[in-house]
Amino acid sequence: MTSVAIEVFLQTLIAGLLLGGLYALIGLGMTLIMGVMKIINLAHGELMMVGMYIAYWMFVLFNIDPYLSVFIATPILFFLGIALQKFLINPVLKVEAILPENQVILTVGIGMVLANLATIFFTSDYRSTPVSYATNAFYLSDYWKASPIELSLSVPWSVSFILAVIITISLWFFLARTDTGKSIRATAQDTDAALLMGVNVKLMRVVTFGIGSGLVGAAGCLFLPIYYLFPSLGGQFTLIAFVITILGGLGSTIGAIIGGLILGVFESMTATYIGMGWAPVGRFVIFVVCLIFLPGGVASLLKRKKLGK
Amino acid sequence: MLEVKNIDVFYGDVQVIWDVAFEVRKGEVVALIGANGAGKSTTLKTISGILRPKKGEVIFEGEPINKVEPYKLIEKGIALCPEARRLFVEMTVEENLDMGSLRGEAKKQRQNTKEMVFELFPRLSERRRQLAGTLSGGEQQMVAVGRGLMSLPKLLMFDEPSLGLAPILVREIFSVIKRIRQEGTTVLIVEQNTKQTLAIADRAYVLETGKITLEGTGQALLNDEHVKKAYLGV
CB B128 within 8 A of CB B93: yes
> Does the beta carbon of B97 lie under 8 angstroms from any beta carbon of chain A?
no
Does A308 score more than 70 pLDDT?
no
Query: Which residue among B74, B86, B100 sits closest to A190, beta carbon to beta carbon?
Result: B86
Question: What are φ and ψ of residue A286, in 5° steps?
Answer: -65, -35
CA atoms within 13 A on the CB side of B156: 29
Please give the pLDDT value at position A96: 67
Cα radius of gyration (chain A): 20
Does A309 score more than 50 pLDDT?
no
Mean pLDDT, rounded, for A118-145: 89
Buried b (16+ CB within 10 A) or exposed e, B10-29: eeeeeebbeebebebeeebb
pLDDT in tens, A250-260: 888 899 999 99
Does A167 score more than 90 pLDDT?
yes
Query: Which residue among A179, A185, A196 sits closest to B82, beta carbon to beta carbon?
Result: A196
Give the burial class of A295: count Cβ atoms within 10 A of its Cβ; 0-12 exposed, 13-18 middle, 19 or more buried. exposed
User: At A98, is the pLDDT very low, low, confident or very high (cuts 50, 70, 90)?
Assistant: low
- Average pLDDT over chain B, rounded to an integer: 92
Can you say how many angstroms the Cα of residue A249 is from the centroid of all Cα atoms in its chain? Answer: 15
Alpha helices per DSSP H over chain A: 3-37, 44-62, 66-84, 90-94, 102-122, 140-143, 155-177, 179-189, 191-196, 201-223, 234-248, 253-273, 279-293, 297-307
Residues of chain A whose C-beta is under 8 A from some C-beta in B? 179, 182-183, 185-186, 189-190, 192-201, 306-308
Give the ipTM.
Answer: 0.90
With beta carbons under 8 A apart, name residues in chain A contacting B90. Answer: 185, 189
The Cα of A65 is separated from the nearest Cα of chain B by a number of Å equal to 39
CB B134 within 8 A of CB A307: yes
Mean pLDDT, rounded, for A215-225: 96
Q: In the 8-state DSSP scheme, what is residue B230?
A: I
What is d(CA B137, CA B144) in angstroms, rounded to the nearest whole number?
Answer: 10
Strands B78-81 and B29-33 turn out to be: unpaired
Please give the pLDDT value at position B231: 86
With beta carbons under 8 A apart, name residues in chain A contacting B99. Answer: 182-183, 186, 194, 197, 199
Mean pLDDT, rounded, for A264-292: 90
Q: Domains in chain A and their CATH numbers? A: 3-129+153-307 (1.10.3470)
> Does the beta carbon of B134 lie under 8 angstroms from any beta carbon of chain A?
yes
Does B98 score more than 80 pLDDT?
yes
Helix (H) or strand (E) holding B220: helix B218-222
User: At A101, is the pLDDT very low, low, confident or very high (cuts 50, 70, 90)?
Assistant: confident
Contacts of B22 by beta carbon, 8 Å cutoff, 6+ apart:
B4, B30, B32, B205, B212, B215
Strands B186-191 and B155-159 turn out to be: parallel
pLDDT in tens, A27-84: 999 999 999 888 889 999 999 999 999 999 999 999 999 999 999 999 999 999 999 9
Contacts of A280 by beta carbon, 8 Å cutoff, 6+ apart:
A236
Please give the pLDDT value at position B27: 93
Does B205 score more than 60 pLDDT?
yes
What is d(CA A196, CA A31) in angstroms, rounded to the nearest whole number?
Answer: 24
CB contact under 8 A, B71 and A189: no
Note if the pTM is more than 0.95.
no
The Cα of B195 is separated from the nearest Cα of chain A by a number of Å equal to 28
